[in-house]
Structure 1
Amino acid sequence: MCNLYSNTMPVGAMRQLFAVEPGSDDLGNAQPLPAIFPKGTAPIIGLDADGTRWMKNTHWGFVLPQVSKKTGKPIQPKAVNNARDDKLRTSSFWKNSFVERRCLIPATSFCEAKGRNPATYVWFGVKGDDARPPFALAGVWRAFAGNYGGEFRELITSSMVTTTPNELVRDTHPDRMPAILHPEDYEEWLTGDPKSAFLLIRQFPADEMVIHQSGEGLKSDKGGL
């Protein structure tokens, strides 16, 4: 599971890395995001019907409407921000998005918390020449229109795919880690058929990853700024 990650890439760098034309970029003058939490702003790369790549800001987490058990009235929805790989092809909550609306989620690090009171926040990334080399997580997206916080809202929502952790992440989170994609697999994740796309969800090699920082209270990866 991942409930916190960062994306401190400049917009221009994201366009170049993910081959998005300026006219298909809706981020504007977006600022670096050293801490992205569920229900927060999450840039993604997706596809138009004609195959053109676009880049948009989304709401991190598929909206799951809820009603009060006492009153039966709508209450604040949940944001389901992690999609387990073992549920993608079987759960009605995820299946259509996996088949029809896969996306790339740009990131420069992700965080897992270990322990409680106080928790240790461990920030993971990939190895490279830069302080925080960029990478992409496998994601899915869908549109939402409905009651949200007492008002009608229309949103593009996203969720990252999680898989079993490698040996580097396992010591902090023994069950799940985000599915990191290799750059040569970006196109196949976006455009391939569901069977070939599913094969791309696998443990990212531990020897190609690094722990950027670890400590109590580190709820923001400001080391990437």
Structure 2
Amino acid sequence: MCGRFALTATPEELMELFGLLESDDFPVRFNIAPTQPIIVVVAADRAGPGSNLPERKALLVRWGFTPGWVKDPRDFPLLINARAETAIEKASFRAAMRHRRVLVPASGFYEWHRPAKGSGEASQAYWIRPRKGGIVAFAGLMETWSSADGSEVDTAAVLTTSANPAIAPIHDRMPVVIQPEDFARWLDCKTQEPRDVLDLMVPASEDYFEAIPVSDKVNKVANAGADIQEAVIPQLVPKAPVKDDKNGDKPDDGQMSLF
């Protein structure tokens, strides 16, 4: 899954990569959490044939997808992710997959390795970023929810897929990454049906991301400084006692093993 991410790019960098009409002065954010505003990139209506205006624009939306048919969001689960394998079929995402595909700019995302209960291992947070740096574009879905009084809320979810071999030891899911050469096809909901973009909803190449162990500061939304991305030594966990058939259980030797 993708439950936290960061975006530290400048408006100029976003405009250049995504070909935006404009980009507001969106603040640097190191710990973006569900229900908070996020930037999404959508296809823009062209002025007409031959227009040289940019084809895309940026919007601020709420991270937490709400289907249009929901009567009261308070009675509906918060959908921050959508599984790429089933989004076409799911009632919650079917319409958005056909009509409202978006890109979610990010500098990287956070993931937690949470071992099985009773394993003796400690949980470890990771900052996962493009190995070559720069901005990554997650595949996303957008929906505008309208209340009975006519007010509207733009909402979005990040599409996830099975993790590649590099990320799988940390977590079994990862965000779908859309490469710049595929931006136009992903955002083109007029001629590209969901089945036409299935080939884009696959894990990123094994060498695309690097995972950096970080502290558990990222767990708290209030921690929003650059220090949450500082590398740490992965937490140490005690070795299990070694059993000796002759002398019974040997006491632990006091050494620690790396997670």
Scaled by the length of structure 1, the TM-score of the pair is 0.82
Larger radius of gyration: 2
Asked if 1:60 corresponds to 2:56, the answer is: no
Question: CA–CA distance in 1 between the matches of 2:162 and 2:185?
Answer: 21
Partner SS state of residue 187, structure 1: helix
Q: CA deviation at 1:49?
A: 4.5
Asked if 1:120 corresponds to 2:119, the answer is: no
What is the match of residue 70 of structure 1? none
The match for 2:182 among 180, 185, 194 is 185
Question: CA–CA distance in 2 between the matches of 1:152 and 1:120?
Answer: 44
The 1:188/1:75 distance shift into structure 2, 3 A limit, reads closer
Say which is worse superposed, 176-185 or 44-53, in terms of deviation: 44-53
The 1:124/1:85 distance shift into structure 2, 3 A limit, reads same
> Which structure has the highest strand share of the two?
1
Q: Is the 8 A contact 2:143 2:155 kept in 1?
A: yes
Q: CA deviation at 1:155?
A: 1.1
Q: CA deviation at 1:211?
A: 1.4
After superposition, where does 1:1-225 map in structure 2 within 5 Å?
1-22=1-22, 25=23, 28-50=24-46, 52-63=55-66, 75=74, 77-115=76-114, 119-128=123-132, 132-146=133-147, 153-174=151-172, 176-191=173-188, 192-219=192-219, 222=226
Question: CA–CA distance in 1 between the matches of 2:147 and 2:166?
Answer: 40
Q: Is the 8 A contact 1:113 1:120 kept in 2?
A: yes
Question: CA–CA distance in 2 between the matches of 1:213 and 1:12?
Answer: 30
Q: Is the 8 A contact 1:62 1:80 kept in 2?
A: yes
Question: CA–CA distance in 2 between the matches of 1:105 and 1:20?
Answer: 13
Deviations 1:132-188 (A, max 9, x none): 4211001110101227xxx985211111110000112111112x1100112211111
Question: CA–CA distance in 2 between the matches of 1:99 and 1:221?
Answer: 37
Q: Is the 8 A contact 2:41 2:57 kept in 1?
A: yes
The 1:212/1:141 distance shift into structure 2, 3 A limit, reads same
Question: CA–CA distance in 2 between the matches of 1:159 and 1:75?
Answer: 17
Q: Is the 8 A contact 2:71 2:147 kept in 1?
A: no
Question: CA–CA distance in 2 between the matches of 1:106 and 1:195?
Answer: 23
Unaligned runs of 5+ in 2: 48-54, 116-120, 231-259
Unaligned runs of 5+ in 1: 68-73
Q: CA deviation at 1:196?
A: 2.2
Higher relative CO (CA 8 A, sep ≥ 6), structure 1 or 2? 1
Q: CA deviation at 1:11?
A: 1.4
Please report the RMSD computed on the Cα atoms of aligned residues, expressed in angstroms. 2.7
Task: Kindly tell me the number of residue pairs found equivalent between the two proteins.
Answer: 208
Q: CA deviation at 1:76?
A: 6.1
Question: CA–CA distance in 1 between the matches of 2:135 and 2:104?
Answer: 10
Q: CA deviation at 1:198?
A: 1.6
Q: Which amino acid aligns with 1:113?
A: W
Q: Is the 8 A contact 1:109 1:221 kept in 2?
A: no
Question: CA–CA distance in 2 between the matches of 1:195 and 1:55?
Answer: 25
